[in-house]
Amino acid sequence: MKKLFLFVLLTGFAASASFARNYKLNDNAVESAFAAAEDITFSADASPLAVSMLNDEEPTKMGYLLRAYFCGSVGLHRSYMGTGGETMWYKYLCIPVYGGVVSCVDFWGVVFKGDEQLAKYKDNPKFRVWGK
């Protein structure tokens, strides 16, 4: 505990004794740097997963599987397919183990059953889609 206190004390002293207060910001240099900067905008080649959502294209199987695997515990794969909405978020966020189990079943169901299972998620408001 003494070492931690000494470390915090020395860090605070070093921060207060630094020469940062002598630093002057050159507004003209900052403005010229922003003027010379390249404008970066979103392009269709940047993110193939986001493009389908922005262009209102049909959701793909690979897009669904990637979302289910990486972001399934928060229900992103369901919103990608147009299901759920406001009625589903509390189940994923308030019951994280249950949401994780459901996303796992969703992922493996589409992996094993394919397009037949994927079609069940399109604009379906039910939480347990795989039941019927």
Asked whether the beta carbons of 59 and 52 are under 8 A apart, the reply is yes
**pLDDT per position as a tens digit, 22-80:** 777 888 998 998 889 887 776 655 555 554 455 557 788 898 899 888 888 777 788 78
How far is CA 73 from each of CA 8, 85, 101, 108, rounded to the nearest angstrom? 38, 15, 8, 14
Average pLDDT, the chain: 77
**Lowest mean pLDDT across 28-32, 88-92, 114-118:** 88-92
Q: What is the pLDDT of residue 51?
A: 47
Residues 6+ apart with CB under 8 A from 110: 61, 64, 65, 68, 117, 118, 121
Q: What is the pLDDT of residue 31?
A: 92
The whole model's pTM is what? Answer: 0.53
- Greatest distance between any 2 Cα atoms in the chain: 70
**Lowest mean pLDDT across 85-94, 102-111, 117-126:** 85-94
Average pLDDT over residues 81-103: 71
Percentage above 70 pLDDT, the chain: 75
Q: What is the pLDDT of residue 43?
A: 60
DSSP for residue 81: T
